[in-house]
Amino acid sequence: QDVDQRDPRGRTLLHLAVSLGYIESAKVLLQHKADVTKENAQGWTVLHEAVSTGDPEMVHMILQHRDYQQTSMTLGGVPELLQKINESLEYFIFTCCLFSFVVPLVSRVCPSDVCRIWKSGAKLRVDITLLGFENMSWERGRRSLIFKGEDTGGWAELIEINHDDKFVTTERFEISQHMKRLTLGSMTPKRKDVERRLTSPIINTCLDTKNIAFERTTSGFWVWRTEKAEGVNGYEAKV
């Protein structure tokens, strides 16, 4: 039978075993490859349920299997991702993201960002200016993320360029070597990570994409406004 089959409330067998504190049942399900990343109908994960039990052993076990499964899926999907990137058309995208709110004072703290994306072969570059949020203000800077991959998917390289402080960080991934070294034991969480989970509030963060809308940029004044166009590589493009 399907080990990840859901009940009418969207809970898998692993969800039920963990939420009820049945650690031995949870171990058996994990041995049969139960998916730790599944969410129930309310959006809560198995790790959320483990933390709510307050059992350090349960949290340790679920956290370890979650990290192992996520890393396995990520590494396993890299070759296919590189192939799709390489086969897609080359392009350049310029986007300006503006967030607003109906309350004027709240709109002032809403973020905005200018993002540029270049794609060539199995290489991808993303330029961003919005870095994070701290002390009730948005942190800004100039960063470039460059993703370089081999056409066959044997390796990938991630380069982060900090234009403000003028330094570069490079990390190279040998996909086959990472897969060989990946074991459940290598993903054992640290004790402080388990303690942090147990002492922090259980929060479920999600982005509602149902009400997202995109609008063309316009130029002009009042009733004479028209759709704005810019020249991109010799072509006229609406923005």
Measured between alpha carbons, how far is 125 from 127 in angstroms, rounded to an integer? 7
Contacts of 120 (CB under 8 A, 6+ apart): 90
For residue 112, the Cα-to-chain-centroid distance in whole angstroms is 19
Tell me if 218 is assigned to some domain: no
Query: Residues 76-91: what's their mean pLDDT?
Result: 76
Expressed in angstroms, the distance from the first to the final Cα of the chain is 51
Domains in the chain: how many in total? 1
Helices 56-87 and 23-31: angle between axes, nearest 10 degrees: 30
The pLDDT value recorded for residue 133 is 59
* 216 pLDDT tier (thresholds 50, 70, 90): confident
In a domain, 77, yes or no: no
- pTM for the full predicted model: 0.60
For residue 49, tell me if it sits in a domain.
no
In a domain, 145, yes or no: yes
Residue 183 has pLDDT above 90, yes or no: no
Residue 191 counted as domain residue? no
Residue 165 lies in a domain: yes
Instruction: State the chain's maximal CA–CA distance in angstroms.
Output: 70
User: Residue 113's domain spans which residues?
Assistant: 84-178
* pLDDT, average across residues 172-189: 80
* Residue 106 lies inside a defined structural domain of this protein: yes
Phi, psi of 196 (to 5 degrees): -65, -40
Residues 47 and 30: beta-carbon distance below 8 Å: no
Binned at pLDDT 50, 70 and 90, residue 194 comes out as very high
Flag whether 38 is in a domain: no
The single-letter DSSP state of residue 110 is -
User: What confidence tens digit (pLDDT) does each residue in 37-69 have?
Assistant: 999 988 899 999 999 999 999 999 999 999 999
What is the structure's pLDDT at 111?
Answer: 62
